[in-house]
């Protein structure tokens, strides 16, 4: 079998890249290890993805936004950040008009389902599921992939979108900087009695952080970040213990809190690949840059990155250039590094500042929040970033 492009991984990055290439006159194959039923109708995974306007516009252009049911899209009006028991908070809202949204919160599985449905409409995209890529053997004019079922596939270009724990990246001998935060995010959906008014809240308590992300109706996504050794205790709490814990932690600000469905745990590991390309090969999504989720950039940057790669390749096709050549791919790499490097390392720095509870760091954090709250240029800078490139669920 021969294709122009093979995409390994049918998650948010892999499928959005396929959708971005659906108008190109080339043959594309997506190889996904999950079963078809899980790809076509993914299960709820607790991830509420905050999408900034730019990402939303990209999804609209791809014809994907239109396939996301309106009743799962929750507008985010503003975000408030609290430190310890201090009543001071940093309020981040749209720079333009008080009533403008900062962005939208959407369950990850609904975005992925819409991406799959859109990709299925394309004549030039084939999707195979329940299969792994075993190896990639690069040659001068093509890459040869061997699949776990013994079949071989040839492609001019292979794109790996196989998550931050990318095995393909490793097989290709590409090193990555990996930052283990030794923390776990426990996410769940909870109903409450009082409205959230579409405001996200982040409490930096000592020992753990708690965020509320406004979903549709009186429901919020609750995100608890704790040290890895404390996560199990939260996951093992009975429903009523958990409800009581969150109600009390929030000082009943939203009335009684009631768990809906499962609690999901995500170990916090950041990844920055040392190179994003090599001959007939490119990395996208979390496989290229796996952000700490606290600043909610991952999917936003993944969407931007795949769009940069897609337009680079479309230009190359128009000019009759080889889409697998390093010269073509270099342009994608340098743009994506420019877009992500500062955000990745900046986010890690902010995480260090906001999750370290030594007395000195606590003091610095208080000062940082006060300065940001009382110094409009800093706040505007934050809001500007939120409105244009990304959305911070939690952090200044
Ligand atoms: C708790 C949490 C909250 C988040 N919130 C936000 C947010 O608010 N905003 C935001 O922008 N981002 C957020 N993110 C980040 C966002 O979820 C990720 O950036 C995004 O989902 C990454 O997409 P991806 O396609 O690169 O990787 P993944 O979603 O991990 O998909 C990888 C795919 O590759 C497949 N695969 C893996 N290996 C192989 C193989 N060898 N062969 C074939 N297929 C393979 C997998 O089955 C999977 O389908 C959050 C993340 C977490 C954990």
Distance in Å, CA 112 to ligand 1 centroid: 10
Say whether 356 sits in a helix, a strand or coil. Answer: coil
More confident residue, 148 or 364: 148
More confident residue, 343 or 392: 343
Quick one: which atom of ligand 1 is closest to the CA of 284?
26
The lowest-confidence range among 31-40, 167-176, 347-356 is 347-356
Task: Supply 236's token pair.
Answer: 């093992």
Question: What pLDDT sits at residue 388?
Answer: 43
- Kindly state if the Cβ of 263 falls inside 6 Å of ligand 1: no
Please give the CATH architecture assigned to the domain spanning 2-76+105-178+270-356. 3-Layer(bba) Sandwich (3.50)
Distance in Å, CA 163 to ligand 1 centroid: 5
Best of 159, 163, 297 to mutate for ligand 1, by most ligand atoms within 8 A of CB? 163
Best of 17, 48, 293 to mutate for ligand 1, by most ligand atoms within 8 A of CB? 293
Residue-wise pLDDT tens digits, 46-100: 999 999 999 999 999 999 999 999 999 999 998 887 776 666 566 776 655 555 7
Say whether 204 sits in a helix, a strand or coil. Answer: strand
- What is the side-by-side strand order in the sheet with 48-52? 48-52, 103-107, 74-76
3-state secondary structure string, 280-343?
Answer: CEEECHHHCEECCHHHCCHHHHHHHHHHHHHHHHHHHHHHCCCCCCHHHHHHHHHHHHHHHHHH
| Residue 59 CB-half CA count within 13 A | 29
- Kindly state if the Cβ of 42 falls inside 6 Å of ligand 1: no
Quick one: which atom of ligand 1 is closest to the CA of 50?
8
Can you give the pTM of this predicted structure? 0.90
Q: What is the mean pLDDT of the chain?
A: 89
- Kindly state if the Cβ of 250 falls inside 6 Å of ligand 1: no
Name the packing angle between helices 326-354 and 359-374 (round to 10°). Answer: 110
Distance in Å, CA 32 to ligand 1 centroid: 13
- As a whole number of angstroms, the distance between CA 364 and CA 137 comes to 51
Task: Using alpha carbons only, give the angle 84, 90, 94 rounded to the nearest 5 degrees.
Answer: 150
């Amino acid at each position: 079998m021969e294709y122009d492009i093979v995409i390994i991984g049918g998650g948010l990055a892999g499928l959005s890249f396929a959708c971005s290439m659906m108008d190109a006159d080339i043959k594309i194959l997506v190889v996904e290890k999950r079963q078809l039923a899980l790809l076509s109708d993914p299960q709820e995974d607790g991830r509420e993805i905050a999408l900034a306007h730019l990402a939303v516009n990209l999804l609209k252009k791809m014809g994907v936004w239109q396939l996301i049911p309106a009743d799962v899209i929750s507008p985010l009006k503003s975000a408030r950040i609290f430190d310890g028991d201090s009543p001071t908070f940093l309020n981040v809202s749209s720079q333009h008009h008080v009533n403008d949204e900062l962005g939208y919160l959407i369950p990850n599985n609904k975005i992925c389902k819409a991406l799959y449905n859109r990709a299925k409409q394309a004549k030039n995209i084939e999707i195979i599921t329940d299969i792994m890529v075993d190896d990639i053997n690069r040659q001068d004019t093509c890459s040869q992939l061997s699949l776990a079922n013994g079949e071989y596939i040839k492609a001019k270009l292979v794109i790996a979108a196989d998550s931050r724990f990318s095995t393909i990246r490793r097989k290709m001998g590409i090193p990555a900087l990996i930052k283990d935060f030794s923390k776990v995010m426990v996410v769940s959906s909870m109903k409450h009695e009082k409205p959230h008014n579409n405001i996200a809240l982040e409490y930096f308590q000592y020992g753990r952080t708690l965020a509320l992300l406004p979903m549709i109706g009186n429901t919020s996504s609750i995100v608890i970040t704790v040290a890895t050794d404390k996560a199990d205790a939260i996951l093992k709490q009975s429903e009523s213990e958990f409800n009581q814990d969150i109600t009390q932690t929030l000082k009943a600000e939203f009335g009684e809190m009631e768990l809906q469905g499962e609690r999901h745990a995500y170990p916090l590991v950041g990844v920055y690949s040392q190179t994003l390309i090599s001959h007939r090969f490119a990395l996208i999504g979390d496989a290229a840059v796996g952000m700490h989720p606290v600043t909610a950039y991952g999917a936003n940057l993944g969407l931007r990155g795949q769009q940069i790669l897609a337009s680079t390749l479309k230009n190359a096709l128009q000019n009759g250039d080889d889409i697998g050549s390093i010269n073509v791919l270099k342009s994608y790499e340098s743009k994506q590094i420019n877009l992500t490097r500062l955000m990745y390392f900046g986010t890690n720095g902010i995480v260090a500042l906001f999750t370290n509870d030594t007395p000195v760091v606590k003091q610095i954090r208080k000062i940082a929040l006060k300065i940001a709250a009382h110094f409009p240029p800093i706040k505007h800078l934050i809001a500007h970033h939120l409105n244009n490139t990304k959305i911070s669920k939690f952090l200044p």
